[in-house]
A = this chain, B = another copy of it.
Amino acid sequence: MTEAPRAQEPVDTDRLMERLSMSWGVYLGDFTLAAASEHLTASQAKALTALRRGPAAMRALADTMTCDASNITGIIDRLEKRGLVRREADPSDRRVKNVTLTPEGERVTDAIRTKMHTTQAGLSTLTTEERATLDALLERVFTCHPTT
How would residues 8 to 22 of chain A score, 1 for a CB under 8 Å from any chain B CB and 0 otherwise?
A: 111101111101111
- A42 CB, nearest partner CB in chain B, Å: 9
From A15, which residue of chain B is reached at the shortest CB distance?
B135
A113-B145 in contact (CB<8A): no
From A9, which residue of chain B is reached at the shortest CB distance?
B132
- A82 CB, nearest partner CB in chain B, Å: 21
A–B complex contacts, Cβ < 8 Å, 28 sampled = A7-B133, A7-B136, A9-B132, A10-B131, A13-B123, A14-B113, A17-B113, A17-B123, A19-B134, A19-B139, A20-B119, A21-B49, A22-B142, A22-B143, A24-B24, A26-B143, A32-B66, A118-B147, A119-B141, A119-B142, A121-B145, A122-B141, A122-B145, A123-B141, A125-B145, A126-B137, A134-B141, A137-B137
> When A and B form their complex, which 4 residue pairs have the shortest distance between CB atoms, in order from nearest?
A29-B66, A122-B141, A7-B133, A23-B142
In angstroms, Cα B29 to Cα A125, docked, is 28
A interface bracket (residues with beta carbon within 8 Å of B): 35 or more
Contact (A140, B113) CB under 8 Å given A20-B119, A132-B11? no
